[in-house]
Amino acid sequence: MQIEIRNLVRTFGATRAVDDISFRFGSGNIFGFIGPNGAGKTTTIKIMATLDQPESGDVFYDGVSVVSDPDKVRRLIGYMPDSLPEYRDIEVWEYLDFFARAFGLKGAGRKKVLAEIEEFTNLGDIRRKYLAALSKGMKQRVSLARALVHNPPVLLMDEPAAGLDPRARLELRALLKILAQQGKAILLSSHILSELQDICDGAVIIEKGRLLSAGTLDELLHDAQTRTGAAPCEGTSGASPAQPSGTTVILELLEDTEKARLKLLEHPAVSQARLDENGRRIEAVIAGSDRDISRVVGTLFAADLPVIGFRKQELGLEELFMKITTGGVQ
């Protein structure tokens, strides 16, 4: 399943909530949808879920359009909103059974599907509880179960981890990984970028309704480095000619950090080495492969300089987000 968002535009009065957004992702991938409050994430997801219509542009699921064939699209997607309705007179099993019937599941087949979903989402112990009596974490599990009732190939999730405690977040993350391994395409919006970092194959970053960057995490890293002129890590391209090229490595020493810095600069693979503000760490830019990096660090050991740790500096989603966005709101 390939999902393509093509030149999507949606306005509310004078506000252009979604401004010519285009991106794509596919089966087996988890993509994070990232942006400040009011960036247009929820509006985009609602259009993708056929709950709203664009002024122009379209969304295609293997060529099926949300504009011209929304009924068919609804069979292909599972939509998980940011909150579950608090019906006070409906139990969990009744709620899921209603949606199963709505999607045409019947008889023993419906009961089997619901039993499997309840087991997968760990709802067995609360199936007789009323929706209004559930905790936030339990409600999110029910919402996920509802989205899975008809076994859709695509999941659209709006802030699924918002308000969850650490255990509930870990459980949700584990479920999403399993669903991606089963071949589902998953798009989820979130403000918890550290959580997305651990599970996402790629991300879409928007601000003020406009697309800033989209792609795999490696592609986003390249894009951020191109924008800022920073040197890319090994395996990327597009470094600014004015910047040193190579992998940034952070080295921590017990003592003799200035001596170690000078020793590093003697090596032809090292284009830059500087001390941090405390004088305990060295940030060095080293050209070449991981093996080349280990050889450079080995020269410090050979010189009896007390290295107690080193690591490659890699941008995460939080750093990418801060580099790419400006903090503007509509």
Task: Kindly list the domain boundaries of the chain, sorted by start residue.
Answer: 2-225, 237-313
pTM of structure: 0.76
pLDDT in tens, 155-213: 999 999 888 888 888 888 899 999 999 999 999 998 777 778 778 889 999 999 999 99
**How many other CB atoms are found less than 10 A from the CB of residue 170?**
13
Distance CA 252, CA 297 (A): 11
**Residue 248's closest CA among 268, 266, 234?**
234
Looking only at the bridges linking them, the beta strands covering 64-65 and 56-61 are antiparallel
CB of 238 closer than 8 Å to CB of 261: no
Flag whether pLDDT at 7 surpasses 50: yes
pLDDT in tens, 28-51: 999 999 988 889 999 999 999 999
pLDDT in tens, 218-261: 788 777 666 655 444 443 333 333 345 578 899 998 888 999 99
CB of 8 closer than 8 Å to CB of 44: yes
The CATH-assigned architecture of domain 237-313 is 2-Layer Sandwich (3.30)
Q: What is the mean pLDDT of the chain?
A: 88
Overall CATH class of domain 2-225: alpha beta
In this prediction, residue 165 carries a pLDDT of: 85
Domains 2-225 and 237-313 share a fold: no
